[in-house]
Structure 1
């Protein structure tokens, strides 16, 4: 009977760890998605103003867009990469979530990643006074 109680107790602890730490990992994933999207939008602000003024073309300065996006990710404390072209910025963020109950079985943290993309858009729906 004692072995059964120990096994059931361990199983309940591991299930609780999956529920608690899984929820924390989902929250970290949602945060990483937001960070990736914010960083991509930040990078998409690096417009090539010379081309825009010359012929109205909306395109990015890829190196500047990548640098802006990576600077934004670095400010969050997570790690990530950014890839930029003349049309789009894509950011991938990797975040770690410390575990609470799964530490008992040797899992110290869970890693999540998320990506977001942005591109420049002409806002023609707003009237300029």
Structure 2
């Protein structure tokens, strides 16, 4: 029985298409991994930034009321600001660094994002960071006899704390 034979031009290409397909598949998989894992890293960065900004706002609520009532100077109590920000981070299950001065609270959240596809090429995790900075600012509302301390973050979010000069304790409100 005679088997059909391939033309001679066909014999010269044995195995070359396989190597090309493997290289092309690896390239497509790497680009897919960059897209997927890059999106996950971006989402993790956004989440970390939100956590950092919220913790900074929580820390910026530690206003020195004695100084504010004595001469109207709006400043923070740094030790309390750091404690408030760390408590907020702990409540959210996040870790980060907190620094505070008499006028600024800075929170940096660092988290590890596990990769989905880039692990196939040796990248198993991505480290992402988010930062939030909050400063108390004075703002007067025309309605009512109260002064409002406004805490503004770098992300243009606002948090208001109503400080009544006739009260011993401030009452915080989120808008």
TM-score, normalising length: structure 2 = 0.70
Which of residues 113, 118, 122 in structure 1 aligns to 2:129?
A: 113
1:37 maps to 2:37:
no
Q: Deviations 1:45-84 (Å, cap 9, x if unpaired)? A: 0011111111111110001101111221222223211110
**2:66 corresponds to which of 50, 56, 63:** 50
Distance in 1 separating the partners of 2:123 and 2:142: 51
- Greater share of residues in strand: 2
1:126 Cα deviation from its structure 2 partner: 4.9
Q: Which has the higher helix share?
A: 1
Does the alignment pair 1:23 with 2:39? yes
Q: Secondary structure at the match of 2:126?
A: strand
- Runs of 4+ in structure 1 deviating by more than 3 angstroms, as ranges, are none
SS at match of 1:57: coil
| 1:78-98: CA deviation from partner (whole Å, max 9, x where unpaired) | 321111000110111112212
SS in 1 for 2:102: coil
1:62 aligned residue = 78
Find the aligned partners of 1:94 and 1:25 in 2 and give their Cα distance.
12
CA–CA distance in structure 1, aligned partners of residues 27 and 93 of structure 2: 35
For residue 88 of structure 1, what is the aligned residue in structure 2? 104
Rounded to whole Å, the distance in 2 between the matches of 1:29 and 1:94 is 9
CA distance in 1, matches of 2:108, 2:83: 14
> Greater CA deviation, 43-52 or 72-81?
72-81
User: Between Structure 1 and Structure 2, whose CA radius of gyration is higher?
Assistant: 2
